[in-house]
Structure 1
Amino acid sequence: MAIDQFFVAGINYKKTDAHIRGQFAVGPDQYAILLQKASLYGLQEVFVLSTCNRTEIYGLADNAAVLIELLCSVTTGSAAVFTEGCYIRQGHEAINHIFAVGAGLDSQILGDYEIVGQMKQAVKFAKERNCIGAFMERLFNTVLQASKTIKNETALSGGTISVSFAAIQFLKSRLIDHSSQQILLLGTGKIGRNTCKNLIDYLGIKDIVLINRTPEKAVELANEMGLKAAPYESLEQQVQDVSVIIVATNASSPVITHQQLINSTPKILIDLSIPHNIEPAAGTLAHITLANVDDLSKINDETLLKRKAEVPKALTIIETHKAEFEEWLSLRSHVPVLKAVKQKLQDMHSCKIFRSAHQQLYSTPIDKAAIQKVVNNVALKMRYQHQPGCHYIEAINDFMTSSTN
């Protein structure tokens, strides 16, 4: 396999806003369909990374266009819109990109370590559906190792910066009395849970109502943190009762609308979802303050400055792991030659002319250990030398020499 067959095509926060990214968000059901269709597009190794800040498709292909076509076959957005705002990386540039993403260097919030966990789930999902082969598995495992090393040996992910924490900073700058606020938190997944914990730990707010489409999850988190849970059917009333609404759901369309808020009291709304789960038009109302993930990403502090200082260390670690992967890939390209050498040595034992000229080699059955030793020696030489025409001759000579000693 040539490294130039490895592509990544994607959109992210750098060139597209949350509305556009929402058109290409890929949920579990869409992802499963995409992987089922992959073979119809001639793709054997492919996976998709879809988060609030990016949607990227990685794969081994003849060109990036086929990856884009497959991705857009399961999204609401078209290939034309995707292509207009996308970036395409090929070969070594694609390798550099996946390492940067896995390390959090390409995240909207620098050093966001959650991205590697999301990538891990995406690869696992694809592997379970037979869409991850030797190349992708080795590449991702090396990316994972680099990410862990960066996490352990640098402060790139040090301090507390995340979308959920940025939401807390946003509220802190706009609320005079934090503890007296009534908050509705809609969605109790990972982001919702983290946001809930931050509200308690950093703002001291305990008057929080949790709502989730699966009510058991809301009740479980409420019991764990000493909060209140409400059924999803009460959402309309809860929206009217509270002063702050935080939405961290994964719905395909808004769950809080402009119409619901026209006659409400003043409120602060935070939308942590992609696509938007709070109708953007709600932010046009004079008594409503609305922030989405793009707004929150602009919040900066000393922690971010400290993280930037760690980038050179992270890049050095990436170079080391990238070199390991490329060495593995180079050795993998030698496998056909090594197999051919091994087969040639074994075939020599069935050649009557060769046997009659070298009878001393055949007093005992074929020496498999001797053949493997010669093949290993060839592999070692191929690792540091580039003389493919000499491998057969050297192997035969080595085998004959070792057999007569």
Structure 2
Amino acid sequence: MEIEQFHIVGINYKKTDTSIRGQFALSNEGYANLLLKAQALGINSLFVLSTCNRTEIYGIAPTEELLTQLLCSQTQGDIDTFKSLAYHKTGAAAIEHYFHVSCGLDSQILGDYEIVGQIKQAVKFAKAHNCINAFLERLSNTAFQTSKAIKNQTELSGGTVSVAFAAIQFLRLHCTDISEKKFVLIGTGKIGHNTCKNLIDYLGAKDITLINRSQAKAQVIADELGLQTRPFEQLQQTAAQADIVIVATNAPQPILFKTDLESEGKKILIDLSVPHNIDLSVKTRPHTIVVNVDDLSKLGDATLKSRQAEIPKALQIIDEYLEEFKDWYQMRKNVPIIRAAKQSLMDIHHCSWFQSLQADNSINPQQQEDAIKSAIKNLAVKMRSQEQTPGCAYIETLHDFLSSTAVSSQSISAVSQDDFKPAGKKDNPEALPSL
């Protein structure tokens, strides 16, 4: 039932640019509101993945339409626009998509390993709001294990290809004397931090000023890398004096405008944010180059070709873990039947007739318990292999149990229903244990 109602609805870089994706980016506040609204509607297992390359909602719901409405209710974009560009997957197709995304096969830069960390954070946030059930938690954990196996067993994420590194490649192609340039990096989250390290390690940049809304956070990185910081209030002044400005914030609207850069001179501006945090008007400034994540993702690299050769290995690993999840799901569906069978055997074990037979055959309590465990284990194996229908496997379990405890078929046929009365309850007639 859960697989049939598991849906994914989303948009990504394949059909939308950063300006459209930015309209459907989700803030933490919006995410929390969405989860509360979902619970009010009776949808109790879902999460949202909102990154620079995609916004997707994953959840167990009666229809994908409900998930679409939930997502768009907390974003700036229009629901009709979203529907015209969105994709929807259900059941097995949705599960396979989840695995491909978490393993970097569906990323704008093939093999992007940062995506799995973003998914973990999204799931963790939903779980903290009681919106991850056993099915979605198991599915997520299996997807994370798959991603780790691909990372360790293939070269799908090998080399130095990421948005942060693509920015370095771009600067190499478009700038000379890079080590002498004056940099300003706005935003010191994970992407900003990685970009900063790349500027130092690969370009030899020395003059880098860090700006963050929390200057204390920027100061930690500045102390680590030997850099300087400026308060967020000095953003415009500092950016105006720089040769290269890199913005990696998660602001919901632009924070840098053409009017902030009226000083003369050439400038390169790199916007690693979604939605845009550098206003499009900056492109009209003379002697200015402006690029965003979509522009950077188009950079060719030999590393990407080597990663493409690893796709068959990655798909094989995904198939192995998908089978593992399917086995778990099949067993989970069988749990009520297995639990009922175990209760039936326990009922037989305590009925007066069966206890009299045990005395005749000198079967001790431990042997009786072992017989029940063995019969239930065999039932689980048979149902897992789907060799029998649940009813047939259920009846055969009774036969296995009685056989293992030396109860003959003649003994069974000679017994009336009244003999199946639990010990100590002979004055209260009971029916045969339900099978």
Please say if residues 41 and 70 of structure 1, whose CA atoms lie closer than 8 Å, have aligned partners that are also in contact: no
- Structure 2 counterpart of 1:402: 404
Secondary structure, aligned partner of 1:295? helix
Q: Contact between 2:164 and 2:194, CA under 8 Å: does it hold in 1? A: yes
Asked if 1 retains the 8 angstrom alpha-carbon contact of 2:2 and 2:60, the reply is no
Q: Deviations over 1:343-393 (max 9, x none)?
A: 222233566787789985898769444322211111111112132221232
Distance 1:281 1:347 in 2: 78
Give the drift of 1:240. 1.3
Instruction: Determine the structure 2 residue equivalent to 1:259.
Output: 259
Give the partner amino acid of 2:297: S
**C-alpha distance in structure 1 between counterparts of 2:79 and 2:370, whole Å:** 55
Q: State the Cα deviation string for residues 40-71 of structure 1 (Å, max 9, x = none).
A: 22212101111110111111111111111111
Distance in 2 (CA, whole Å) between partners of 1:68 and 1:345 is 47
SS at match of 1:67: helix
1:153-179 Cα offsets, whole Å, 9 max, x none, are 111111000001111111111112111
Letter in 1 for 2:402: M
Stretches of structure 1 that go unaligned for 5 or more consecutive residues are none
Question: What is the alpha-carbon distance in structure 1 between the residues aligned to residue 273 and residue 405 of structure 2?
Answer: 69
Q: Compute the displacement of 1:131 (Å).
A: 1.0
- The question of whether the paired residues in 1 share the 8 Å contact of 2:49 and 2:56 is answered with yes
Matching of residues 221-300 of structure 1 within 5 Å: 221-262=221-262, 264-300=264-300
Maintained 8 Å contact 2:46/2:58: yes
Where does 1:67-78 land on structure 2 (aligned, <5 Å)?
67-78=67-78
**3-state SS of 1:273 partner:** coil
Equivalent residue of 2:110, what SS? coil
Determine the C-alpha separation between the residues in 2 that align with 1:332 and 1:118: 28
Please identify, of 194-203 and 352-361, the stretch whose mean Cα deviation from structure 2 is larger. 352-361
Q: 1:355 to 1:222 in 2, by over 3 A?
A: closer
| Mapped contact 1:13–1:53 kept (Cα < 8 A) | yes
CA deviations on 1:220-240 (whole Å, 9 max, x unpaired) are 211211111111111121121
Q: Confirm or deny that 1:116 pairs with 2:91.
A: no
Match of 1:207 in 2: 207
Please give the per-residue CA displacement for 1:16-60, whole angstroms capped at 9, x wherever unaligned: 110111111112222122122221222121011111101111111
* Segment drifting more, 73-82 vs 95-104: 73-82
**Per the alignment, do residues 98 and 241 of structure 1 end up closer, same or farther by CA in structure 2, a change over 3 Å counting?**
same
CA distance in 1, matches of 2:190, 2:25: 17
Letter of the 2:232 counterpart: Y
Q: Please identify the structure whose Cα radius of gyration is greater.
A: 2
Cα 1:392–1:362 shift into 2, 3 Å = farther
Match of 2:431 in 1: none
Q: TM-score, with normalisation over the residues of structure 1?
A: 0.95
Secondary structure in structure 2 of the residue aligned to 1:323: helix
- The answer to whether 1:81 aligns with 2:81 is yes
Q: Residue 374 of structure 1 corresponds to which residue in structure 2?
A: 375
Q: Distance in 2 between matches of 1:172 and 1:166?
A: 10
Aligned to 2:41: 41
Q: Does 1:322 align with 2:322?
A: yes
Helix, strand or coil for the counterpart of 1:185? strand
Q: Name the amino acid aligned to 1:12.
A: N
Matches within 5 A, 1:5-404: 5-262=5-262, 264-349=264-349, 360=360, 367-384=368-385, 385-404=387-406
Contact 2:236 2:261 in 1 (8 A): no
Is the CA contact 1:222–1:228 (under 8 Å) kept in the aligned structure 2?
Answer: yes
Q: CA deviation at 1:140?
A: 1.0
1:360–1:404 CA contact under 8 A, matched in 2 = no
The secondary structure found in structure 1 opposite 2:180 is coil
**Deviation at residue 339 of structure 1 after TM alignment:** 1.3
**CA RMSD in angstroms, aligned pairs only:** 2.0
**What does residue 419 of structure 2 align with?**
none
Give the match's secondary structure for 1:167: helix
Aligned-residue offset at 1:262: 4.8
**Number of aligned residue pairs:** 405
Which has the bigger relative contact order, CA under 8 A and spacing at least 6? Answer: 1
After TM superposition, the structure 1 stretch with the greater mean CA deviation from structure 2, 395-404 or 185-194, is 395-404
After TM superposition, the score normalised by the length of structure 2 is 0.89
Which one-letter code corresponds to 1:14 in the other structure? K
Moved more, 279-288 or 4-13: 279-288
CA contact (8 A) 1:9 1:57 kept: yes
Whether the 8 Å CA contact 2:142–2:321 is kept in 1: the answer is: yes
1:132-165 residue CA offsets vs partner (Å, 9 max, x unmatched) = 1111111111111111111111111110000011
Distance change (3 Å), C-alpha of 1:361 and 1:73: farther
Partner of 1:3: 3
User: Residues of 2 paired with 1:174 and 1:65: CA distance?
Assistant: 46
Q: SS in structure 2 opposite 1:8?
A: strand
Matched residues in 2 for 1:386 and 1:329: separation? 17
Contact residue 151 and residue 157 of structure 1 kept, 8 A:
yes
Structure 2 gap segments, 5+ residues each: 408-435
**How far apart, CA to CA, are the structure 2 residues paired with 1:36 and 1:294?**
33
CA spacing shift, 1:35–1:360, aligned 2, 3 Å: farther
Q: Tell me if the contact between 2:9 and 2:68 (Cα under 8 Å) persists in the aligned partners.
A: yes
